[in-house]
Structure 1
Amino acid sequence: MLVYIITPLFPTKDNEVIGTFVYEQCKALVDRGYDVVVLNVTGLGWKNWNNNKMNEINEGFIEGVKFYNYYYRSVASAKFPLREMRKCENILNKMYEYALERHGCPDLIHLHFSFPLGKGVKNLAIRNKVPLVVTEHHSMFLNRNINNYLIKEVTSLVKNSSSFICVSTYLKESLESYIKTSVDIKVVPNMIDNRFEYHKLKSSTNNFDFLSIGSFRKIKKHDLLVKSFIKAFKESDRVSLRIVGTGKEKRKVKKIIKKNNREKQILLLGSKRREEVLEEIIACDCFTLASKDETFGVVYREAMAVGRPVVSTNNGGVLESWSDSYGVLAKKNDIEDLSNKLRYMYMYSKDFNHECISNQTLERYSENSVINMVIKVYEKTLKDVRT
């Protein structure tokens, strides 16, 4: 079966972390004998407009996955969604024809993220009479200020898809609050890479290490996490907080750390490669992230797959199949409550069954479990088209 995967996010040599959940699903399909072609259309902000691969089709392979990339200049896409969708549709039509000449017509198209490519992919699928599966990951559906035109387009996309998927029940319910339709939206979670498996806690140090991973955006609330950590622990406590990620909010967080003289205790590690992320998770005692909202929260599951308990905010996505045996949840945007939960984990983390956390997480979100769910959707979609 030939599947065209269309996405606005896909890993590159410069950024191996972005869109890894899309790539890992593609790789799992290839490993099971599917022919996969990725069309990646990515909008870049003005700081990256000097990219020498802008406005042209670039191609390559990542471990057997064939991809075509196209980078374009993106300006205020959320404020002007119609303009962004039209631009993407024009680019996508060119890329589709380019791929068609080299690989032939796909049996199925699978789109990740409805915005900004949804309108163009829907029209392309209808025009070429190709079944369309859509997986929604986008956190924009978790807020209450979505552009009305965008709601209209997403509603049309849901109705015209052969199958529409959300990565969590929380995201599904949020999406359904916007689009009034009888379409059966399925839930298929993101998968965990096979490299993330159980590792025993380190035993050679008395220091307790919290780890957080996430881009420095407002929604990730790294500033709140740092303030909560400072409130929970003294400078003299043998405890640290290590944060992996980059972004606009990093400077703000850095100022908070410096103001409170915690540079030696709270470390900003910058961007890390996937192998380095795994090493950081293995080395930590507990994973924590204070996000305002999460559609799924794959990074929580990666830490849990390694066997690390979690301190999280009650952010929606983390609640999918949640058990109190996995960690503790704090109220959103509450420094007092989060600081108490961090302190609790510091004192009682060894009471959690780390191997059990790993086993139950992998049972639900391993590559094999999730890709089988995806393949069932593909098979049913093609069966329905033929009958």
Structure 2
Amino acid sequence: MKVLIIPYNYPTINNSQKAIFIADQVSMLREQGNDVTVLGAIPKTASEAIKSRCFRFGRLSEEKDVVSFPAIRGMDRLNNTLQLAIGKKLFQQFLLHNPKPNLVHVHNASCGALALWIKKNYDIPFVVTEHSSLKWKKLCEKSLILYKESKANIAVSNAFGMHLSLKYKQIFHYVPNVVDINFFKKADSGRITGACKTFVSIGNLTVNKNHQLAIRSVKSLLEKGYEVKLFIGGAGPEEQQLKKLIKSLNLQKDVFLLGQLSRLQIKDLLNRSDYFLLPSKKETFGVVLIEAMAAGLPVLALKNGGSESIVTPEVGLLAENEQFFIEKISLLLKMDFQKNAIFEYVYSKFSQCAVMKTLLKIYKI
């Protein structure tokens, strides 16, 4: 099958973690013998350029038909117009040297205008996978048009799919993000052992990622006499607030902000840790949960819309609210989780083999 992927974002040379789950899905489709092209224009604001320390635009990915263009925050109409115009040009150039794809797969309604144009002008059907946590909020009329025109709609968690189905009155199929399970799998030899237990939390330093809850939870363990450390991987606008919190709680020797990490650094951090914390307020999925469990880590997650489709009693704990999260972290330490069983669970649910079967059924609708 010839598949055209239109991503809302994509890993670049400067940020290999950006929307990595889309790249993993592309790899999965190609490994199964499909002819896959990734094509689209990715908006890049000044703040994103500063954050990535890359002020170049154009082809910054291994995929030659993915380009970035300068975007202005708050000027959505202009940005969307540019994105569509560049996308049209890229697709027309693609057709000069390639046959038409059988199917277009859009990742996020935000970049769906190109799929609508392709369907109208070239009669190529499309499917949509919605990842955006913004869709938990108010209804978007443009998204509704896209969902109605699509061959099938996909959500990356059960709760998110039910929410979208009710809000948009369209069927949404649950297909989880694929994760490179074997990349994060760890042999027994590298794990840190001993009295001191290591917790890890990974995610952008934003209000939604809620790292302050992880910090306060570890503080509660220390007050109970446990010997623990917390390592937080990620960068973002809440960095200074988190540093102030760490200092105010006198945790400078117990909690460490590591900054932005590469995929290899994340793998190494997970492999040297004992438990994973996901205190996010809202998630549509939770790729880091899968990565952590692939490394054999038991997890504690706040119920946030995404984690409920992932965490079971065999692999970790779910907390209804922040108070329960703080209470359950000590329970996590007392429970006996089996690393191999955790890995087998994520392999059966979120590996390339497992997700591919589900996705192909959607493609054939």
Which residue of the partner structure matches residue 45 of structure 1?
Answer: 45
Match of 1:328 among 303, 317, 320: 317
Q: What are the equivalent positions in structure 2 for 1:214-293 lying under 5 Å apart?
A: 214-234=203-223, 237-293=226-282
Q: What are the equivalent positions in structure 2 for 1:86-125 lying under 5 Å apart?
A: 86-115=81-110, 117-125=111-119
In 2: Cα distance, 1:203 partner to 1:45 partner: 40
User: How far does residue 140 in structure 1 lie from its aligned partner after superposition?
Assistant: 0.8
| Alignment gaps of 5+ in structure 2 | none
Which residue of the partner structure matches residue 72 of structure 2?
Answer: 75
Q: 2:178 corresponds to which letter in structure 1? A: M
In 1: Cα distance, 2:192 partner to 2:288 partner: 24
Q: 1:6 corresponds to which letter in structure 2? A: I
Q: Contact between 1:10 and 1:40, CA under 8 Å: does it hold in 2?
A: no
In 1: Cα distance, 2:161 partner to 2:82 partner: 27
**Cα RMSD, aligned residues only:** 2.2
Alpha-carbon spacing, 1:174–1:76, altered in 2? closer, same or farther (3 Å): farther
Query: How does the TM-score come out when normalised to structure 2?
Result: 0.91
Alpha-carbon spacing, 1:236–1:343, altered in 2? closer, same or farther (3 Å): closer
In 1: Cα distance, 2:97 partner to 2:248 partner: 57
Q: Contact between 2:10 and 2:61, CA under 8 Å: does it hold in 1?
A: no
User: How far does residue 59 in structure 1 lie from its aligned partner after superposition?
Assistant: 6.6
Alpha-carbon spacing, 1:67–1:186, altered in 2? closer, same or farther (3 Å): farther
In 1: Cα distance, 2:3 partner to 2:60 partner: 17
Q: Does 1:375 align with 2:360?
A: yes
Q: Does 1:311 align with 2:300?
A: yes
User: How far does residue 212 in structure 1 lie from its aligned partner after superposition?
Assistant: 0.5
Match of 2:195 among 193, 199, 206: 206
In 1: Cα distance, 2:330 partner to 2:60 partner: 49
Alpha-carbon spacing, 1:59–1:261, altered in 2? closer, same or farther (3 Å): closer
Query: How does the TM-score come out when normalised to structure 1?
Result: 0.86
In 2: Cα distance, 1:372 partner to 1:42 partner: 29
In 2: Cα distance, 1:279 partner to 1:220 partner: 21
User: How far does residue 204 in structure 1 lie from its aligned partner after superposition?
Assistant: 4.1
Tell me the secondary structure at the aligned position of residue 256 of structure 1: helix
Map Cα deviations across residues 116-154 of structure 1 (whole Å, 9 max, x no partner): x112321222221111121111111123xx3x5xx2111
Map Cα deviations across residues 323-374 of structure 1 (whole Å, 9 max, x no partner): 2222122233x2x33222222223x14x122321221121111111112222
In 2: Cα distance, 1:180 partner to 1:254 partner: 44
Q: Contact between 1:45 and 1:74, CA under 8 Å: does it hold in 2?
A: yes
Map Cα deviations across residues 83-107 of structure 1 (whole Å, 9 max, x no partner): 4433321221122112222333222
Q: 1:197 corresponds to which letter in structure 2? A: K
Q: Does 1:26 align with 2:29?
A: no
User: How far does residue 73 in structure 1 lie from its aligned partner after superposition?
Assistant: 2.8
Q: Contact between 2:60 and 2:68, CA under 8 Å: does it hold in 1?
A: no
Alpha-carbon spacing, 1:203–1:12, altered in 2? closer, same or farther (3 Å): closer
In 1: Cα distance, 2:161 partner to 2:102 partner: 26
Alpha-carbon spacing, 1:283–1:189, altered in 2? closer, same or farther (3 Å): same
Q: 2:362 corresponds to which letter in structure 1? A: V
Q: Contact between 2:192 and 2:274, CA under 8 Å: does it hold in 1?
A: no
User: How far does residue 18 in structure 1 lie from its aligned partner after superposition?
Assistant: 0.7
In 1: Cα distance, 2:162 partner to 2:258 partner: 35
- Percent of counterpart pairs with the same letter? 28
Aligned residues: 360
Tell me the secondary structure at the aligned position of residue 372 of structure 1: helix
Which residue of the partner structure matches residue 137 of structure 1?
Answer: 131
In 2: Cα distance, 1:154 partner to 1:8 partner: 14
Which residue of the partner structure matches residue 358 of structure 1?
Answer: 343
| Alignment gaps of 5+ in structure 1 | 382-387
Alpha-carbon spacing, 1:247–1:102, altered in 2? closer, same or farther (3 Å): farther
Alpha-carbon spacing, 1:85–1:97, altered in 2? closer, same or farther (3 Å): same
